[in-house]
Structure 1
């Protein structure tokens, strides 16, 4: 399977919206109660899709279609999602490679991410460490950080 990572464009918004929605409903639903998923699907897909050109956003393309997204908003990793049908194939890893490369190019010293329970093991494997845990309503949140090699804050 050939994976192409490129900068996101406004034309990718509809596909990104669908990816985030599918990931929330299928993947994240395994770790969160329905009340949290119901709240997230109301706003998160639109937020991610509408910020593709504001953030340093990337998409993953497989067989000509957008299957994943990941972004850098300042020093914050934001919205790394892969369509459930394409998960566990290295796509999120490739997206994060692009995000971390962009952070290096922008001299971002410490990256932060507000991780879901679902994504915590993925970020930990990439060297992110837990800074704090908390709750947003009934949604557990995990703030993690990672120093970008060769850069300082």
Structure 2
């Protein structure tokens, strides 16, 4: 497995992974209505537009197959999802490290994440601590998350 910068041709795979994670991994932590609101209107082109607007995307590539992705901007990890068939194998940790290292190279520090429910332990293992609960409203539906922060002395 290698981690590399997202190529435009990865957008379909990233979109599929995002949807599979919501449907297979997060259903039960979120309601069907929340998942539908989360994915409503999303397209592969949206990830390309986000990258063009400054989000830094990385993909985990296993023999030519994208199995996970992560993105960050400014001081926030915006997204990290691993294909359900490849979870709990270290892929997420490698993607997070790639983002943290990229931020450092660019003079930034990723210190914020809005964790999906159930991923708090993963982020805790990487130096993030819970600072509170939060939510995002999409299409009139409230989608809860856990707000987490990482202090600068724990970076690296």
TM-score by length of 1: 0.87
User: In structure 2, what is the equivalent of residue 28 of structure 1?
Assistant: 26
Count residues in correspondence.
149
Match of 1:84 in 2: 84
Contact persistence 2:2–2:62 (CA under 8 A): yes
- Equivalent residue for 2:5? 7
Aligned residues of 1:113 and 1:144 also touching (Cα < 8 A):
yes
What residue number does 2:50 align with? 51
Structure 1's 17 and 145: CA in aligned 2 closer, same or farther, altered over 3 A? same
Q: Output one character per residue of 1:69-105: Cα deviation in whole Å (capped at 9) or x when no partner.
A: 0011111101100111111111000000101111211
Q: Deviations over 1:11-41 (max 9, x none)?
A: 1101100010101111011311111111112
Deviation at 1:44, TM superposition (A): 5.1
Query: Are the equivalent residues in 2 in contact too, given 1:5–1:98 (CA < 8 A)?
Result: yes
Provide the secondary structure at the position in 1 that maps to 2:3.
strand
Runs of 5+ in structure 2 lacking a partner?
A: none
Instruction: Give the aligned partner of residue 139 of structure 1.
Output: 143
- Contact residue 100 and residue 148 of structure 1 kept, 8 A: no
Task: Output the TM-score relative to the length of structure 2.
Answer: 0.85
Unaligned 5+ runs, structure 1: none
Further displaced range: 124-133 or 82-91: 124-133
Distance (Å, rounded) in 2 between the aligned partners of 1:115 and 1:61? 23
Segments of 4+ moved more than 3 angstroms: 43-50, 135-138, 148-151
When residues 63 and 109 of structure 1 are mapped into structure 2, their CA distance, relative to the original with a 3 A threshold, is closer
